């Protein structure tokens, strides 16, 4: 995957899937419609102002709560190509990998990334450059088997490939 | 090396003699679950593979979240599930009138049991640890692929031992146990881990208590929460679970990454303050009265017969405070019917509670009790995130059914012993 460059939308710890996409919008699973309500309960500016390529950065336990895959789908359909956090909640992590939204875990280093910073991210190596501050971070590598799913572009493509073998 | 309960179930379903924390394995599934919100995207993913489902008896489709349909779009979601169930001959599809809240009815109908492995496209799928199963929530892509293949991949989780001792006081419920635990370890205290409950205190807990506790393992970030098999489990699953099942017990030298001690005799009724389930405080420690506008008694956490019994006993001879709306939601048709036979529904109606058909409704801010700006609710549900039950400035305080009923009567957060 090519190097990604984008501006940071910065959120805190324990960002739950109810704030990423509130349940009142779950009567649809259309990605564009979900994206139009993404983060609305804590940040009304996100859905209006997010640009293709912008990067979402959160703190600890990002994506906790409900298993709704609508949450990573809403983020991805907002044009965000990668989410970086101190840590991710388990189900959100699986869902991100499964739908082809790369997630990078960098622990406490996340504190050094600020709203509006320009990042350059190499998803395959996990190397993150903060072009605004000059800092460089290394994300925890994905286990091999999970890398295979990510490389296939998500679980559906992976299962299709496996069934051909 | 010894194995804990979770490792034994995962090993058995991976066809391996032993598995240990950190290993990535692929397992055969006993049950695969989705609801009216998560099944439609799962079905879309399944259709990318196509063909027939792996086993039409091992899939449960439960339209419970926005059903009976709250609006036209929700009716569309229900139709997608209904049409798919018909086309694929899904045996465990539950139409309105035969349905209840997924995590109430799957154990009630015996579709999950000891030693079994279940995934569900709903985070509270971890409930079935109460009956000595391994069960965990996943998203719609995992679920769609599981419907096609009958398999899922797992990272074997590390285990936290929750060692329970002491005698449980009469005014304490499973909800107080789990809210206390989440308060101790935090909302990410069990991230990527399993919670295994051990100790003589386990026997103090009814099956309802255990279902409530396992249900909220996810609120500590847990992959599952599992109880040992004992005479209480046996009494519950016997005759209910029709398939053969094999309980699991932890080996004496099973490995735990951490042990948390809870002395049940020291617990008092607690509430979790907004906006995290780990903001736990004893009700007795609340100094200034916290006035409330709404109470919800129900959900996959506390919508079982025993929960309604506890609430009904407190409402006997009392009424809901004039400034409060109290909504009672039986978790299944069977719970509803038995509550009616036992007179609990009469008690609720005489106390001026709203009684609804089984639904997840207000828990996730769906319908049937949505709050406007600045309102407060004491709820027996499982999440108090910002905006969870309505307006972003409304507040949810999580509590057990005894505290919820007492609060409804007094119009403020209250302990049951305050109701005279």
For the stretch A7-34, pLDDT in tens is 999 999 999 999 999 999 999 999 999 9
Mean of pLDDT values over B347-366: 98
Residue B193: beta bridge partners? B158
pLDDT at A150: 84
**B1 — pLDDT class (breaks 50, 70, 90):** confident
pLDDT at A1: 54
Q: 3-state SS string over A111-137? A: HHCCCCCEEEEECCCCEEEECCCCCEE
pLDDT at A116: 98
- A-B contacts (CB, under 8 Å): 131
Q: Are B10 and B117 in contact (CB under 8 A)?
A: yes
Which tokens go with A5?
């460059």
Q: Do A18 and B385 touch (CB under 8 A)?
A: yes
Polymer length in residues for chain B: 420
Q: Are A115 and B102 in contact (CB under 8 A)?
A: no
Q: Do A90 and B40 touch (CB under 8 A)?
A: no
pLDDT at A146: 86
Q: Do A26 and B387 touch (CB under 8 A)?
A: no
Q: In whole angstroms, how far apart are CA B74 and each of A26, A27, B332, B367?
A: 9, 5, 20, 11
Long-range contacts of B344-348 (CB under 8 A, 24+ apart): B344/B308, B344/B309, B344/B311, B344/B312, B347/B312, B347/B315, B347/B316, B348/B311, B348/B312, B348/B315
pLDDT at A80: 98
What is the nearest CA distance from B190 to chain A, expressed in angstroms?
Answer: 10
Mean of pLDDT values over B156-172: 98
Mean of pLDDT values over B71-88: 98
Q: Which of A24, A27, A65 sits opposite B365 (nearest CB)?
A: A24
Distance in angstroms (rounded) separating the CA atoms of residues A101 and A114: 21
Q: Which of A14, A23, A70 sits opposite B276 (nearest CB)?
A: A14
Q: Are B383 and B363 in contact (CB under 8 A)?
A: yes
pTM over 0.95, yes/no:
yes
Mean of pLDDT values over B289-310: 98
For chain B, give the longest Cα–Cα distance.
62
Picking from B71, B141, B148, B224 by the largest number of A CB atoms within 10 A of its own CB, the best residue to mutate is B141
Distance in angstroms (rounded) separating the CA atoms of residues A120 and A122: 7
Q: Which of helix, strand or coil describes residue B204?
A: helix
Q: Which of B123, B148, B386 sits opposite A159 (nearest CB)?
A: B148
Q: Which of B24, B123, B153 sits opposite A91 (nearest CB)?
A: B123
Place of tokens 């409330």: B292
Which tokens go with B96?
């309105």
Q: Which of helix, strand or coil describes residue B415?
A: coil
* Of residues A78, A72, A82, A71, the one with CA closest to residue A126: A82
* Of residues B293, B317, B308, the one with CA closest to residue B412: B293
* Cα nearest neighbour of A15 on chain B: B385
Q: Work out the percent of chain B whose per-residue pLDDT is above 70.
A: 100
Q: What are phi and psi of A3, to 5 degrees?
A: -70, 135
Q: Which of helix, strand or coil describes residue B193?
A: strand
This complex has an ipTM of: 0.94
For residue A165, pLDDT beyond 80: no
Q: Tell me the DSSP string of B116-168.
A: -EEEESSGGGGGGGGGT-EEEE--HHHHHHHHHHSEEEEEPPEEEEEEEESPP
For residue B61, pLDDT beyond 80: yes
Q: Which of A23, A41, A145 sits opposite B386 (nearest CB)?
A: A41
Inform me whether the C-beta atom of residue A155 falls under 8 Å from chain B C-beta atoms.
yes
B33, containing H or E segment: strand B31-35
Chain B residue numbers with beta carbons less than 8 Å from the beta carbon of A41 are: 386-387, 392
Picking from A67, A145, A147, A163 by the largest number of B CB atoms within 10 A of its own CB, the best residue to mutate is A67
pLDDT (tens digit, 9 = 90+) per residue, B268-297? 999 999 999 999 999 999 999 999 999 999
Helices A144-152 & A155-164 angle (0-180, nearest 10): 100
pLDDT (tens digit, 9 = 90+) per residue, A66-75? 999 999 999 9
Distance in angstroms (rounded) separating the CA atoms of residues B231 and B251: 19
pLDDT (tens digit, 9 = 90+) per residue, B255-271? 999 999 999 999 999 99
pLDDT at B16: 97
pLDDT (tens digit, 9 = 90+) per residue, A79-138? 999 999 999 999 999 999 999 999 999 999 999 999 999 999 998 899 999 999 999 999
Chain B residue numbers with beta carbons less than 8 Å from the beta carbon of A156 are: 45, 48-49, 141, 144-145
For residue A2, pLDDT beyond 80: no
What is the nearest CA distance from A67 to chain B, expressed in angstroms?
Answer: 5
Instruction: Using alpha carbons only, give the angle B168, B172, B174 rounded to the nearest 5 degrees.
Output: 90
Chain A residue numbers with beta carbons less than 8 Å from the beta carbon of B24 are: 143, 145-146
Chain A residue numbers with beta carbons less than 8 Å from the beta carbon of B69 are: none
Q: Which of A22, A94, A163 sits opposite B138 (nearest CB)?
A: A94
Which tokens go with B321?
């405070």
């Amino acid at each position: 995957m090519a190097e990604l460059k984008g501006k940071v939308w910065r959120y805190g710890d324990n960002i739950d899937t109810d704030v990423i996409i509130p349940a009142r919008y779950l009567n649809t699973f259309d990605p564009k419609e979900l994206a139009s309500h993404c983060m609305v309960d804590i940040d009304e500016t996100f859905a209006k102002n997010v640009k293709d390529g912008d990067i979402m950065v959160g703190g600890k336990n990002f994506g906790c709560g409900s298993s709704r895959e609508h949450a990573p789908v809403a983020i991805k359909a907002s044009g965000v190509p990668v989410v970086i956090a101190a840590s991710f909640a388990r189900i959100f992590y699986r869902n991100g990998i499964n739908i082809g939204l790369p997630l990078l875990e960098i622990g406490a280093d996340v504190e050094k990334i600020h709203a509006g910073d320009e990042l350059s991210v190499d998803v395959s190596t996990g190397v993150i450059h903060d072009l605004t501050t000059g800092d460089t971070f290394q994300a925890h590598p994905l286990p091999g088997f999970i890398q295979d799913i990510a490389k296939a572009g998500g679980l559906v493509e992976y299962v299709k490939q496996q069934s051909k073998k | 090396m010894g194995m804990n309960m979770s490792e034994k179930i995962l090993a058995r379903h991976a066809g391996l003699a032993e598995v240990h924390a950190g290993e990535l394995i692929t397992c055969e599934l006993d049950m695969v679950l989705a609801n009216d919100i998560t099944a439609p995207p799962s079905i879309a993913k399944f259709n990318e593979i196509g063909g027939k489902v792996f086993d039409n008896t091992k899939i449960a489709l439960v339209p419970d979240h926005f059903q009976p349909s709250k609006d036209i779009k929700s009716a569309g979601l229900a139709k997608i599930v209904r049409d798919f169930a018909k086309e694929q001959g899904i045996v465990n599809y539950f139409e309105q009138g035969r349905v209840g809240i997924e995590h109430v009815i799957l154990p009630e109908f015996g579709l999950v049991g000891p030693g079994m492995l279940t995934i569900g496209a709903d985070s509270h799928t971890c409930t079935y640890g109460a009956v000595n199963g391994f069960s965990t929530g996943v998203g719609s892509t995992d679920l769609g692929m599981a419907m096609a293949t009958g398999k899922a991949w797992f990272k074997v989780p590390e285990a936290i031992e929750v060692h329970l001792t002491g005698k449980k006081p009469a005014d304490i419920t499973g909800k107080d146990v789990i809210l206390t635990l989440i308060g101790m370890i935090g909302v990410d205290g069990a991230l990527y881990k399993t919670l295994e409950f051990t100790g003589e205190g386990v026997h103090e807990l009814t099956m309802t208590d255990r279902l409530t506790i396992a249900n909220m393992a996810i609120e500590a970030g847990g992959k599952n929460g599992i109880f040992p098999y004992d005479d209480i489990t046996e009494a519950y699953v016997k005759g209910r679970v029709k398939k053969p099942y094999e309980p699991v017990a932890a080996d004496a030298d099973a490995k735990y990454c951490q042990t948390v001690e809870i002395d049940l005799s020291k617990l008092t009724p607690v509430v979790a303050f907004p906006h995290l389930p780990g903001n736990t405080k004893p009700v007795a420690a609340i100094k200034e009265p916290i006035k409330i506008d709404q109470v919800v008694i129900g959900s996959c956490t506390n919508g079982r017969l025993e929960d309604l019994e506890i609430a009904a006993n407190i409402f006997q001879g009392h009424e809901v405070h004039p400034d409060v709306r109290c909504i009672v939601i039986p978790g299944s048709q069977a719970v509803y019917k038995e509550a009616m036979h036992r007179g609990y529904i009469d008690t609720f109606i005489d106390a001026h509670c709203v009684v609804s058909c089984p639904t997840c409704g207000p828990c996730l801010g769906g319908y049937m009790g949505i709050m406007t700006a600045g309102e407060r609710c004491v709820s027996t549900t499982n999440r108090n995130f910002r905006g969870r039950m309505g307006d972003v400035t409304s507040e949810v305080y999580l509590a057990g059914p005894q505290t919820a009923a007492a609060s409804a009567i007094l119009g403020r957060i209250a302990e049951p012993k305050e109701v005279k």
